[in-house]
Amino acid sequence: MDPSRKRKVRFVVALGVAVLLAGALVYTSFSASSEARTPSQLLTAAAPGEVYRLTGKVEPGYTRRGTTTYFRVRDRAGQGSVPVTYEGTLPDPFREGREVIVSVRRRGDAFVGERGSLITKCPSKFTEQKT
C-alpha cells in the first residue's frame, strides 16, 4: 500500500473511532441524565424509581431527626410543593426560603434525595455551597 493511501486509511480509521466514541458519549448522556423538574411538575408526573433534579425554594419549618432532614420544596413562583427526605449533613448555606437543587427519587408519596446531591444557592452574589 503506498504511503498516501496508508495515511488516508489511518485517517479514516481514526475518524471512525472518534465518531463511535462521540456517539457512545451522546447516547449515554441522554440515557444517564436526570431531568430538571419543579415541584408542581413532580406532583403531576413522577415515575417511581426515576431520578429527577428538583429545583425550588425551601419552605419554612423543616425538621431534623438524627442525620435525616425532612423538608418541603416549593415552586419558585407558585403553590406546588413536595416533601423531601434527605439523609446526611446539610450544606452550610441551607436556609428556609433559599433555592436548592436536589436529585430525588420517588418513594410512595415522598421523594428521597440522593446523597451528596443537595446544592443550596445563595440569595445574592455570594458563592454557593454543595454537600
Partner 1 sequence: MLIVGKACLILALGTCLYGIAASLYGARSSRREWVASGRRAVYALAGTAGLAFVILQAAFLRSDFSFALVASHSSTTTPAFYRATAVWSSQEGSLLLWLLLLSLWSSLILFLTRRRLREIAPYATAVLLGFGAFFVSLLVFLETPFAQALPAPAEGVGLNPLLRHPSMMIHPPMLYSGYTLFAVPFAFAVGALVTRRLDADWIRSTRPFTLAAWFFLGVGVILGARWSYSELGWGGYWAWDPVENASLMPWLTGTAFLHSVMIQERRGMLKVWNVSLVLATGVLAILGTFLVRSGILDSIHAFGASTLGVPFLVLIVAMIAGSIALVASRAAELRSEHRLDSLLSREAVFLLNNLVLVGLCFVIFWGTFFPLISEAVTGQEASVGPPWFDQYTVPLALALVLLSGIGPVIAWRRATAANLRRNLLKPAAAGVLVLVVLAALGLGSEPGALLMFGLAAFVLAALGQELWRGVRARRAMSGGGVPSALVALVRRNRRRYGGYLVHAGVAVLFVGVAASSSFQDEREVLLSPGESARVGAYDITYVRPTADLRAASNGRLERIDFGAVLDVRRDGEPATTMRTVKSYFPSAAPLAGPVSRFFDGEATSEVGLQAGWRRDVWTAIAPDTAALLPRVREGDRVFGEADLAPAARDALLGQALAGLVRSYASDPPPATFRLIVSPMVTWIWIGALIAFAGGLIALWPAPRGTPSRVSATYAARVGRDVRTPAQV
What does the radius of gyration of the chain's CA atoms come to, in whole angstroms? 22
Residue type present at position 74: R
Q: What minimum distance in Å lies between the beta carbon of 113 and partner 1? A: 13
Classify 62 as helix, strand or coil. coil
Residue 55 Cβ, how far from partner 1 at the closest point, in Å? 7
CA distance 32 to 28: 6
Intra-chain end-to-end CA distance of the chain, in Å? 58
What is the H or E stretch that residue 63 is in? strand 63-65
CB closer to partner 1 out of 85 and 131: 131
Residue closer to partner 1 by CB (options 108, 126) is 126
Residues that bind partner 1 (CB under 8 A): 3, 7, 14, 18, 21-22, 25-26, 28-30, 32-36, 53, 55, 63-64, 66-67, 87-93, 95, 101, 103, 116-117, 119, 121-122, 124-131
Residue number with CB closer to partner 1 (37 or 74): 37
